[in-house]
A and B are shown apart, each in its own frame.
Chain A
Amino acid sequence: MILILLALLASGGVARVRAQGELRWAGDLQGGEPYVFRDPRHPSKLVGFEVELARALVRELGVRERFVQNDWSSLVPSLERGDFDAIINGLEDTPALRGRILLSKPYFTFAEQLVVRRGSPRRTLAQLEGRRVGTLASSLAHSILRAHPRIEIILYGGQEEPYRDLQLGRTDAVLLDSVIAVRYGLTKPDLELADPDVARGAYVIGLRKGDGDLLDAVDAALSKLDAIGELKAIYARWHLPAPVVLAPAADEPPPARFDLAQVALFLRGACVTLVVSFLAMALAVPLGLALALARLYGGPVARFGAHAYVELWRGTPVLLQLYILYYGLAPLIHLPALSAAILGLGLNYGAYEAEVHRAALLAIPPGQGEAAAALGLSRWQALRLVLLPQALRTALPAMTNDLISLLKDSSLVSVITVVELTKQMTITAVDVRSWALPGALCAGLYFAISYPLARLAARLEERLGGPAELAAA
């Protein structure tokens, strides 16, 4: 068995794919129309021009095809891990990528297009210096925008959101490829094309390093499909502009090095993480306390309201809450991304803090409240002077726990365009073609924040009635 496996590993990609009897190819269904997506009428079936391309390709290779769903931003590391054999999902040919994995001939070329609000005066990248421009993270458009250091780049995970934020005035332009721009941007009546050809790019198939023979086979198959007009037919069915298979222009800057500038970006990301986490916690603690008091001492309406809040916010994903706050409510309240991030996390953690404070208040012996009442203290005085100080002491370890957990959950806010530490790490990792160093630095920075925090909380616990303080008194 081991011998067979070793033989398979040594014999290159073609033999492996033949032995499997299938080519496992990956994409992200979130990419949607027209790449790979679920047929709206038959949700069990996948459709899209890349599905048809993959089927034509495996016919030439003499195997079957199997689609593997993978998050778009981590397609390359998953390929390297061996989760699948090929990436066929709008993968753009960039020098950074070429140094890392094998890339086929382009199967489709496109133009990067600049879309703005109708009638906007800023219609070129030069005019957009100092303004906010949206794009997809780690795309060719992203690296083009980075050649303009004065442009503030806003990064998104999906194609719909950049144009929605452009409509809402959160950005001044969106730079994305023509396939996306035509479908998602120009279908909106209040948006228009400002520059139809900022640059050219190409979609290629990504293959594992070491699968050189598979690359040759794929390239030969692509040439044949092009020669017999099958590619053209597929693109025509999907209303894509006619492709030209050509060698991409290699006039891009060389890949980034992991230098001081990258470290500075990391530190900036760490600051964003800190600000978001601490402000969210500063919101969550008083909110949680108010909810806990409402549940324990409120009237029936307050009790029900607080209980419903806790269950609703705890019972739904914080990611969904962030989406609703930032995109869903955008027509009603126009929150900037950072405020939405802080508010979203704060409201969510408030539900958890509510339970922490409620448990801490319930843990106080009932005699404490009776003794306070017997002395004539009002209910509010008893809470403020006697019960809450004791509850705080009990709640402190759980609150520290929540703050450290919040510190890491704050990475979720990248879905609403906030670039914090983890997002910065994934961007840099793609730029410098390595996850090792950015990953280590990212982990180191998180630890450098959370460990002192845990120590500080331990000190505080002692101060609030630990043995050291009592001995001193």
Chain B
Amino acid sequence: MILSVKGLEKSFGARRVLRGIDAEVSAGETIALVGPSGGGKSTFLRCLNGLDSFDAGAVQIAGLSLAPRAAPDAPALRPLRARVGMVFQGFFLFPNLTALENICLAPLHVRQEPLDVVEKRARSLLERVGLADRAGSRPAMLSGGQQQRVAIARALAMQPEVLLLDEPTSALDPEMRGEVLAVLRDLAGTCTMLVVTHEMGFARNVASRIWVFDEGKLVEDGPPAQVCDHPRSERARAFFHAQP
């Protein structure tokens, strides 16, 4: 198992956002995390690389374990971050650096790889996301879809074992959404991915499993056809029924 979660609990003050999550993922799987807003899926994802701490439970990811209540900037989390990549809804490219520099930054400074190796890999990643000609562009000169594709390339440059994507297309218009989803479809199978998404078409066609989160619980876990067409829980049935 590349990811194993046991009894994960988290509260924001009095509000319990994660109420005992148990889950496992094998290498190479693509998991789509769906469900109503506020169900806990984004928080769950952020707990997997320590950006949010959790109160109780255990996480084993990419061969490393995470303890409860770790500070998000604790030095102990750095090896984990090098193996677990993250893509945000808001892209968060570094505006002071070009697309190429954004991609090269972590391999150069975290893994201390030689520049020529890093740059070669960065250029091939840019090509893979269809932006080979925009290496020298600053983020402000790129469209939202292009920025998100660079952000995916930036995460992939660390050659992560697991890639976490938190609503990667929610900030984009439909056309740009298509560009990004195409990249993710192409990526599926080559790298373990957990994608929080509202794109039910993508979840159904690309994911190996769909997880439905509701009120801090994992209420459905299964292959797309089973979860979408024959959900076991009442809540999941209502959720899928509301989808267009």
Residues in chain A within 8 A of chain B (CB atoms):
365, 367-368, 370-379, 381, 385-386, 389-390, 393, 464-465, 469-471, 473
- The reply to whether A367 and B92 form a contact with Cβ atoms under 8 Å apart is yes
A386 to B108 alpha-carbon distance, docked (Å): 14
Residues of B within 8 A of A464 (CB): 96
Q: Which residue of B has the minimal Cβ distance to A390?
A: B96
Is B90 engaged at the interface, CB distance under 8 Å to the other chain?
A: yes
Shortest Cβ distance from residue A230 to the other chain B in the assembled complex, whole angstroms: 79
Is B158 engaged at the interface, CB distance under 8 Å to the other chain?
A: yes
23 A-B contact pairs sorted by A residue (CB < 8 Å): A365-B90, A367-B90, A368-B92, A370-B72, A373-B51, A373-B73, A374-B51, A374-B85, A374-B88, A374-B155, A375-B81, A375-B86, A375-B154, A375-B158, A376-B106, A377-B110, A390-B95, A390-B96, A393-B96, A465-B140, A470-B140, A471-B141, A473-B137
Is B109 engaged at the interface, CB distance under 8 Å to the other chain?
A: yes
A368 to B91 alpha-carbon distance, docked (Å): 9
Shortest Cβ distance from residue B69 to the other chain A in the assembled complex, whole angstroms: 17
A465 to B140 alpha-carbon distance, docked (Å): 9
- The reply to whether B141 and A371 form a contact with Cβ atoms under 8 Å apart is no
- The reply to whether A370 and B105 form a contact with Cβ atoms under 8 Å apart is no
- The reply to whether A473 and B95 form a contact with Cβ atoms under 8 Å apart is no
Number of residues of chain B lying within 8 A (CB) of chain A:
32
Q: Which residue of A has the minimal Cβ distance to B157?
A: A375
Shortest Cβ distance from residue B51 to the other chain A in the assembled complex, whole angstroms: 6
Q: Most chain-A CB neighbours within 10 Å: which of B75, B81, B158?
A: B81
Q: Mark B127-143, 1 if CB is under 8 A from A, else 0.
A: 00000000011101100
A375 to B82 alpha-carbon distance, docked (Å): 6
Residues of A within 8 A of B155 (CB): 374-375
Is B49 engaged at the interface, CB distance under 8 Å to the other chain?
A: yes
- The reply to whether A385 and B140 form a contact with Cβ atoms under 8 Å apart is no
Residues of A within 8 A of B109 (CB): 377, 381, 385
Given A374-B88, A386-B105; 12 other pairs, CB 8 A cutoff: A367-B92, A368-B94, A373-B81, A374-B81, A375-B154, A376-B81, A381-B110, A465-B95, A465-B138, A469-B138, A473-B98, A473-B138
Shortest Cβ distance from residue A465 to the other chain B in the assembled complex, whole angstroms: 7
Q: Which residue of A has the minimal Cβ distance to B84?
A: A374
Is B78 engaged at the interface, CB distance under 8 Å to the other chain?
A: yes
- The reply to whether B105 and A375 form a contact with Cβ atoms under 8 Å apart is yes
CB contact list, B43-73 vs A, under 8 A:
49, 51, 72-73
Q: Which residue of B has the minimal Cβ distance to A370?
A: B51
The 8 nearest A-B residue pairs measured at CB: A371-B92, A376-B81, A374-B86, A375-B106, A367-B92, A376-B110, A389-B96, A376-B82
Residues of B within 8 A of A389 (CB): 96
Q: Most chain-B CB neighbours within 10 Å: which of A365, A390, A471, A473?
A: A473
A379 to B72 alpha-carbon distance, docked (Å): 11
Shortest Cβ distance from residue B96 to the other chain A in the assembled complex, whole angstroms: 4
- The reply to whether B106 and A373 form a contact with Cβ atoms under 8 Å apart is no
- The reply to whether B138 and A386 form a contact with Cβ atoms under 8 Å apart is no
Q: Mark B108-121, 1 if CB is under 8 A from A, else 0.
A: 01100000000000
A473 to B51 alpha-carbon distance, docked (Å): 33
Shortest Cβ distance from residue B111 to the other chain A in the assembled complex, whole angstroms: 8
Shortest Cβ distance from residue B148 to the other chain A in the assembled complex, whole angstroms: 12
Q: Which residue of A has the minimal Cβ distance to B86?
A: A374
Q: Which residue of A has the minimal Cβ distance to B134?
A: A473
- The reply to whether A373 and B75 form a contact with Cβ atoms under 8 Å apart is no
Shortest Cβ distance from residue B161 to the other chain A in the assembled complex, whole angstroms: 13
- The reply to whether B105 and A385 form a contact with Cβ atoms under 8 Å apart is yes
A367 to B86 alpha-carbon distance, docked (Å): 12
Shortest Cβ distance from residue B193 to the other chain A in the assembled complex, whole angstroms: 15
Residues of A within 8 A of B154 (CB): 375
A386 touching B136 in the complex, CB below 8 Å, given contacts A374-B49, A376-B78, A376-B110: no
Residues of B within 8 A of A465 (CB): 95-96, 138, 140
Residues of A within 8 A of B82 (CB): 376
Q: Which residue of A has the minimal Cβ distance to B75?
A: A378
Residues of A within 8 A of B110 (CB): 375-377, 381
A376 to B154 alpha-carbon distance, docked (Å): 12
Shortest Cβ distance from residue B122 to the other chain A in the assembled complex, whole angstroms: 13
A473 touching B136 in the complex, CB below 8 Å, given contacts A370-B51, A379-B73: yes
